[in-house]
Structure 1
Amino acid sequence: MAWNEPGGGRDNDPWGGKNQGPPDLDEALKKLQDKLNGIFGGGNGNSNNSGNDGFRLNTGAVMMLVVLAAIVWGLFGFYQVDQQERAVVLRLGVYQETVQPGLRWNPPLIDEVSIINVTKVRTAQSRGQMLTEDENIVDIQLSVQYTVSNPGDFLLKVKSPEMSLEHALESALRHVVGSSKMDQVITEGREQIAVDTQQRLQSYLNAYQSGIQVAKVNIEDAQAPSQVQDAFDDVTRAKEDRERLKNEAEAYANGIIPEARGAAQRQMEEALAYKDQVIAKAEGEAKRFNQLLAEYRKAPKVTRERLYIDALEELYQSTSKVMVGTEGGNNMMYLPLDKLMEGRVSARMGSDQQVDIRELTDRVIEQLRRDSQNTRREGR
């Protein structure tokens, strides 16, 4: 039977109190508000104060959420900048400042902080074939070491600092190599080319306001193209041989020239010594002659005989045979002085005495006088 049929009564009403129906929405909201008021300190008011309790509940919850959000937002604003770093602060996309090392705070979502290492040495490399001043092609490979000198410029002034550095490096290198000859690039001019490239590269980067400071440019390899490398190797070896021979010649010259100068100086010293010796000897002979002259004037005969004996003594010292002519005859007397001296030496060997040439001369002269006197007597 339907609930609205006659005779059904109120008991058949599906929305009546006796039947189970859907919950009341207002009652459910009221229960929820009562629970929230209990949690956040609200009172257990009656049904007449339900509107005021709901308003207080909404206000307290919102304030609590706002406070919590503010605390979380503030905590996310703290950051640490190390000693080797600098922080670039952008406020609403506009450059604000560059922050030094330390514990810092900036409002999140308003300021954008970018931390950049300014002490780290970074490296960039470049390699390519380039044309020299004398229209030769060389293959060069080099590397660049650089640091960030201005974090603000490095981050904001150039879109891609690393790519800009590579392009500027290639441009500077081509300019320097194009102004140099091939021999300078491959052999002895590498260091100067690296210095010139560094100076030109730094000028380009300063003009770009890139915030990059170039520390050093190293030319790692510089050689001719592979197609002609063998020929250039021969040329290089020939130059090395030339330098080696040149160094050997200089070493020989450095060794022989001082020796020759020393020999020349020694000869000059010997010549000066001989000069002094000759002068001293001449002066001595002149002095001796003056002394002999004085003695000759006192006793001419004795002095003349003494000079004659001294002359014979000096003469006999250089010869071992003497021929003596006798007066009044054609016979020549031969005196074997060498044999006489040997006899005298043999006779005196036991007593360890040497032959006195003066004594021998006196004996010879005495013997000659005796023979001369005997010859005169026989002639009479």
Structure 2
Amino acid sequence: MNWDWDKLQKQQQGRRGGGSSTPPGFEDFNQQFEKFKRIRFPGWKLVLLAVVILWLISGVYIVEPGEVGVVKRFGEYQTMTSPGPHYHIPYPVESAVTLNVERVRRMEFGFRSINRSRSVPFQQGQTRKVTDESLMLTGDENIVSVQFIVQYQIKNARNYLFNVFDQEGTIKNAAQAAMREVIGKSNIDRALTTGKQEIQVATRQLMQEILDLYSTGIRVENVQMQNVHPPDAVVDAFKDVASAREDKSRFINEAEAYRNDILPKARGQAARIINAAEAYREAKVRRSEGDASRFLSVLREYRKAKDVTRTRLYLETMEEVLAQPDADKVILSNEALKQSLPYLPLERVKPGGGKTTNKTQ
């Protein structure tokens, strides 16, 4: 309803012209207010009913697959609900929070991945170092830069929401404490080379023990070391040491390969020489034994019949001599030998002073 201000202004002006000192328009204001009170609003009940209905509907909530719902009554834990539609007493009496318990969450330490934006073009693997988190002291009093990630899941939504005030801060502190303790018990060579797998397993176990001690409701799925290297100030010196170690390993491998190549050959050659010597010895021994046996048998026969044996030996010797193919032989009887002149084959003498052999009987 609108007030009739024009009428009121005219009445006030008339009263001022009459010289009255009474405050202008008081009775008119009273009359207008009485008229306003007599006005009725027939839809206010509908408005109130709509507000109540909306307030009741606000208690409906849906838990998505892979999530759990946690109902709080005046901020205190009341119950936990599974995926599907549910209802709770509307705020401020009760409230509901949904948590995804199947999603594997990730937290980075010693570095931060650079997110893609319009001003910065996307590059695979582009990160930013966080030196305060990465520098750690090893067991042999060296400093190493360790960049790693932690993957975890929520295994108990009630403990996750009500037992810990700062969940991410607690996970961060537990991960750094566990990694620093494990690195502090390892030497730098083990952290840089062959001990990474053992360090990851030990860190995950120690981190899980810390989180279970505080009943955080968190399960650590994996701890993975991304990049482990010496500090930037001494990285060149470590590279030189690593190169020297690689050269040492290479020289050792080459020497072992040369040894593995030479030793079998030497062993084989030695075995061959030994076998040849043994064969030669065996042949000589057998031949000597045979010659001795033959000589003894001939000696026995000779003792039995000296003339016959002497003649047989002569004939066998002559047969052996005359059977040689490289000798020219002239056979003469004793009478012919007395009547013949000696013959010297000068055409067969070699120019170098050597000469062919010629046996003349």
- With structure 2 as the length reference, what TM-score do the two structures score? 0.61
| Contact 2:73/2:95 (8 A) holds in 1 | yes
| Greater Cα offset, 305-314 or 146-155 | 305-314
| Contact 2:152/2:219 (8 A) holds in 1 | yes
**1:182 maps to 2:188:** yes
* Residues 144/251 of structure 1: CA separation in 2 closer, same or farther (3 Å cut): farther
Give the letter for the 1:84 counterpart: G
**1:253 maps to 2:239:** no
> What are the within-5 Å matches in structure 2 for residues 95-114 of structure 1?
95-109=77-91, 110-114=93-97
Q: Distance in 2 between matches of 1:300 and 1:217?
A: 103
| Greater Cα offset, 289-298 or 148-157 | 289-298
**1:304 maps to 2:313:** yes
* Residues 25/206 of structure 1: CA separation in 2 closer, same or farther (3 Å cut): same
Q: Distance in 2 between matches of 1:237 and 1:26?
A: 97
How far residue 163 of structure 1 moved from its aligned partner, in angstroms, is 0.7
Per the alignment, residue 236 of structure 2 pairs with: 230
Q: Distance in 2 between matches of 1:234 and 1:100?
A: 59
Q: What is the percentage of aligned positions where both structures have the same residue?
A: 33
Q: 2:197 aligned to 191, 199, 203, which one?
A: 191
How far residue 102 of structure 1 moved from its aligned partner, in angstroms, is 3.1
Q: Distance in 1 between matches of 2:98 and 2:82?
A: 10
How far residue 171 of structure 1 moved from its aligned partner, in angstroms, is 1.6
* Residues 26/77 of structure 1: CA separation in 2 closer, same or farther (3 Å cut): closer
Q: Distance in 1 between matches of 2:56 and 2:77?
A: 21
Q: 2:148 aligned to 142, 151, 160, which one?
A: 142
* Residues 78/309 of structure 1: CA separation in 2 closer, same or farther (3 Å cut): farther
**1:128 maps to 2:134:** yes
CA radius of gyration, larger in: 1
**1:116 maps to 2:122:** no
Structure 2: give runs of 5+ residues left out of the alignment.
1-30, 111-132, 349-357
How far residue 285 of structure 1 moved from its aligned partner, in angstroms, is 7.0
How far residue 154 of structure 1 moved from its aligned partner, in angstroms, is 1.6
Q: Distance in 1 between matches of 2:138 and 2:78?
A: 47
Per the alignment, residue 209 of structure 1 pairs with: 215
**1:83 maps to 2:65:** yes
* Residues 264/111 of structure 1: CA separation in 2 closer, same or farther (3 Å cut): farther
| Contact 2:61/2:96 (8 A) holds in 1 | no
Q: Distance in 1 between matches of 2:33 and 2:213?
A: 78
* Residues 306/112 of structure 1: CA separation in 2 closer, same or farther (3 Å cut): farther
Give the letter for the 1:182 counterpart: I
| Contact 1:323/1:335 (8 A) holds in 2 | no
Per the alignment, residue 129 of structure 2 pairs with: none
Give the letter for the 2:104 counterpart: V
* Residues 90/261 of structure 1: CA separation in 2 closer, same or farther (3 Å cut): farther
Q: Distance in 2 between matches of 1:131 and 1:27?
A: 82
| Contact 1:323/1:332 (8 A) holds in 2 | no
How far residue 268 of structure 1 moved from its aligned partner, in angstroms, is 5.8
- With structure 1 as the length reference, what TM-score do the two structures score? 0.58
| Contact 1:149/1:211 (8 A) holds in 2 | yes
* Residues 108/244 of structure 1: CA separation in 2 closer, same or farther (3 Å cut): farther
| Contact 1:322/1:335 (8 A) holds in 2 | no
How far residue 287 of structure 1 moved from its aligned partner, in angstroms, is 8.9
How far residue 248 of structure 1 moved from its aligned partner, in angstroms, is 2.2
**1:173 maps to 2:179:** yes
Deviations 1:10-68 (A, max 9, x none): xxxxxxxxxxx989969966xx69xx6xx9xxxxxxxxxxxxxxxxxx9xx57x965x6
How far residue 71 of structure 1 moved from its aligned partner, in angstroms, is 5.2
Q: Distance in 2 between matches of 1:99 and 1:335?
A: 133
Which structure is higher in RCO with an 8 Å CA cutoff and minimum separation 6? 2
